[in-house]
Amino acid sequence: MNIFYNIEDVPFQKESVLTIGTFDGVHLGHKQIISKLLSDAKEKSLRSLVITFEPHPQVVIQRADKPEVYLINSLKERLELFEKNGIENILIIDFTSEFSKIEAEDFIKDYLYKIGFQKIILGYDHTFGRDRQGSIDTLKKFAEKDNFEIEQIGPYKHDDKIISSTVIRKLLQASKISEANEMLGYKFFVKGKVQFGRGMGAQIGFPTANIKPAISHKLLPGFGVYIVESMIDGKLHYGIANIGLRPTMTNDIKPTLEVHYLDFDKDLYDEVIKVCFIQFIRPEIKFDSSEELAHQIRKDEKQAKRFIKHLKEDNQEL
């Protein structure tokens, strides 16, 4: 996969088909656009190119009176998902406050025309340029005189709900993991390095890996306990993860992610772990004692093991 960080490095090639977007989540709606991009490129012998942005525009233009923006994927994760979906060329534009002020028409002339293209494919709600003033209609004005094709891809629905990054973020924050995973087309994951914790889980019989997400604005699902899986040393391991403030033990200020892997006791300190979320078990609860917490974790563990047993049985039947 060719990754370009500067538009000057992208060879001009008129025989190209482009798409533009932030693609947070690289979900099923995005995959519909990507699939069309790749099929057109193959059918017409064109170069395919994805134009995306980093940082995410919402992070840069976020108003101070609005809640902090958290994202489904880091840039690195997005790139891995792009490659997995067959993308061959990507231009990553440095999205700055100055860049956000570029007029839509100037973006077309100073960026898209510099790359060259015969066709551009966009999502149904895509906007671009200063104050999101650019749209399909803006491109149509240029297409008529400069002879390029535009295709707009309609919304992709799951159970009559339009799939979008915003919808998926809300589902994750509401702990609706199964529904979010169905819209993503893969298991939502958090990747990060295992750090030293306070060892409180081990003190009550449930050692945990305390994982710091790779980026500060990585979205974490809603506070609670989840069934998760990780590939460690080439082997799949299941566990129960807690996201929250650990009110019984420490009552933290910032939420943490800690995972207790089932039937696994290797020291994972300083390793980078990918935690994939499978199922929500329960909300985070403040218990009156560590003994009550340990009793509940044992129940969580039993529930997780039953779920995993059925999951493995179902997979064997497929």
Give the residue numbers marked as catalytic: 258
- Residues 6 or more apart whose Cβ sits within 8 Å of residue 140: 150
